[in-house]
């Protein structure tokens, strides 16, 4: 794990606007993930983006510190912002909030992310699937190889154990579940709820409201065909985005979670609303709602930033559960260290034994060609086996010593020792 790095931003540090600067839209994700990989010169990389975080997990090139990759990552996104519509104050805020982890710390952070321990809601039920999807995309693009796959595999196993062995897993929560109480508070009687977008959050909100006879569900999307089936399954009606924005009618609740780069709900939309101002739950990054326009219209707006206070309350209430989960994470990290250690030290041990056996074979050949030239093959085999046993016994102590050196001081110490041996050998 000595070349593992992880740089990212969460909504807790960068706010919703800052997070948007580091987020690719679904349409550009694959192209931009490859561009990021090439611009930063990673050996391997995975780009992960959720509603409340962006993470870049990568393998450093030898001699290049994680701090340098942090600078490159920020530079890549800063260049995109300058070419787009992001404003400079937002860029500065996001840059200051970037976190960076390396080596074991990066692995630990990834494990906590996959298990939902670093989410706004501890035990987030969606994050593991999002991390798996990010790895699959990176593998399909040829950006992630065997080294990151090993780390991610252990992270997935740790996350599954957290979900199965702690009450965090028994009562999973997700970002969208924070919106359910807000929705329920306004839908105790007859109510129209507009769900804008065609993603996972829209589906979950629709399923949460499905079967409520007094709820009139509108599934709104720019491409209406993408929500027709979902609307039918939830007992709602599909509507094109342009039509809804032009004539929204009377709506009690609006939940929006699209990938639009500019606000959808502005002054014209709020002016077209009928009846009392709705509750708007904006789960999009960047926001789908013009904040000033919503305030002017008397709209109650809840976005990801507003949900943080409730999320932190949940976190404090579940500290004992989190502590139990962290024990599982620590055990999983130790298992990963052992796997990485075996992977790194095994070739060195094999090479050491191969060199020792080759030296013994060369000496035996000289012996058989000269002093023991008349020895029959049966006796030669006995001597060869004896020579192999001698090599194994002689190499046992240095092999154990190298493994202990690696465990106590890392593979860098082993490589320095072997380099010193090679230099001494060449100098003789």
Question: Would 321 be classed as within a structural domain?
Answer: no
Residue 117 neighbours by CB under 8 Å, 6+ apart: 123, 162, 168, 322, 325, 326, 329
Instruction: Report residue 19 as tokens.
Output: 């997070």
Tell me, what's the pLDDT at 134? 96
pLDDT digits (tens, 9 = 90+) for 405-424: 777 766 777 777 777 656 65
Tell me, what's the pLDDT at 343? 78
- Mode of pairing for the β-strands spanning 4-10 and 53-59: antiparallel
- Mode of pairing for the β-strands spanning 253-256 and 237-240: unpaired
- Mode of pairing for the β-strands spanning 300-303 and 279-282: parallel
**CATH (domain of 135):** 3.30.460.30
Sign, CA dihedral 272-274-278-284, equals negative
Question: Would 331 be classed as within a structural domain?
Answer: no
- Total domains present in the chain: 3
Residue 373 has pLDDT above 80, yes or no: no
For 151-156, what is the mean pLDDT? 95
Q: Looking at the chain, how many residues does it have?
A: 428
pLDDT digits (tens, 9 = 90+) for 398-407: 777 777 777 7
**CATH (domain of 292):** 3.40.50.720
Residue 214 neighbours by CB under 8 Å, 6+ apart: 187, 189, 190, 191
Residue 423 neighbours by CB under 8 Å, 6+ apart: none
pLDDT digits (tens, 9 = 90+) for 201-229: 888 899 888 888 889 999 999 999 999 99
Question: Would 246 be classed as within a structural domain?
Answer: yes
Domain identity same for 149 and 198 = no
CA distance linking residue 361 with residue 358, whole number of Å: 5
Enclosing domain of residue 288 = 177-311
pTM score, whole prediction:
0.62
pLDDT digits (tens, 9 = 90+) for 270-286: 999 999 999 999 988 88
Domain identity same for 121 and 65 = yes
Question: Would 256 be classed as within a structural domain?
Answer: yes
Domain identity same for 106 and 167 = yes
Question: Would 316 be classed as within a structural domain?
Answer: no
Among 77, 53, 16, 31, smallest CA distance to 263 is for 16
Question: Would 327 be classed as within a structural domain?
Answer: no
Domain identity same for 409 and 302 = no
CA distance linking residue 254 with residue 239, whole number of Å: 14
pLDDT digits (tens, 9 = 90+) for 298-357: 999 998 888 777 767 766 767 778 888 899 999 999 888 888 877 777 787 788 788 888
pLDDT digits (tens, 9 = 90+) for 50-96: 878 899 999 999 889 999 999 999 999 988 877 654 444 444 444 55
């Amino acid at each position: 794990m000595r070349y593992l790095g992880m740089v990212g931003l969460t909504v807790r540090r960068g706010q919703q606007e800052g997070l948007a600067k580091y987020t690719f839209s679904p349409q550009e994700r694959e192209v931009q993930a490859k561009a990021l990989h090439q611009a930063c010169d990673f050996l391997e990389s995975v780009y992960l983006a959720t509603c409340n975080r962006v993470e870049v997990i990568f393998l450093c090139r030898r001699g290049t510190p994680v701090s340098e990759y942090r600078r490159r990552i920020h530079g890549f996104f800063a260049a995109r912002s300058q070419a787009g519509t992001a404003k400079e104050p937002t860029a500065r805020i996001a840059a200051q909030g970037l976190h960076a982890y390396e080596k074991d710390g990066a692995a630990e952070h990834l494990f906590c992310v996959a298990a939902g321990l670093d989410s706004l809601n501890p035990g987030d039920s969606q994050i593991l699937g999002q991390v798996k999807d990010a790895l699959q995309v990176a593998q399909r693009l040829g950006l992630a190889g065997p080294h990151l796959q090993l780390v991610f595999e252990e992270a997935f196993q740790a996350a599954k154990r957290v979900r199965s062995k702690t009450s965090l897993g028994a009562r999973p929560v997700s970002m969208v579940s924070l919106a359910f109480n807000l929705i329920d508070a306004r839908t105790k009687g007859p109510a129209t709820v507009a769900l804008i977008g065609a993603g996972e959050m829209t589906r979950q909100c629709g399923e949460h409201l499905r079967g409520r006879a007094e709820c009139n569900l509108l599934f709104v999307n720019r491409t209406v065909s993408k929500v027709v089936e979902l609307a039918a399954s939830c007992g709602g009606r599909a509507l094109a985005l342009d039509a809804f924005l032009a004539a929204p009618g009377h709506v009690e609740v609006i939940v929006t979670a699209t990938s639009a780069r500019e606000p959808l709900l502005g002054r014209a939309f709020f002016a077209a609303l009928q009846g009392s101002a709705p509750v708007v739950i904006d789960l999009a990054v960047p926001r789908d709602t013009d904040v000033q326009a919503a305030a002017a219209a008397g709209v109650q707006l809840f976005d990801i930033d507003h949900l943080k206070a409730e999320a932190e309350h949940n976190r404090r209430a579940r500290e004992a559960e989190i502590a139990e989960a962290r024990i599982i994470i620590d055990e999983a990290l130790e298992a990963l260290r052992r796997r990485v250690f075996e992977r790194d030290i095994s070739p060195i041990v094999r090479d050491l034994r191969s060199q020792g056996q080759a030296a013994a074979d060369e000496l035996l050949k000289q012996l058989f060609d000269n002093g023991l030239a008349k020895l029959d093959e049966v006796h030669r085999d006995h001597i060869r086996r004896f020579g192999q046993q001698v090599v194994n016994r002689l190499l046992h102590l240095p092999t154990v010593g190298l493994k202990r050196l690696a465990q106590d001081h890392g593979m860098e110490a082993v490589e320095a020792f072997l380099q010193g041996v090679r230099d001494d050998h060449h100098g003789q």
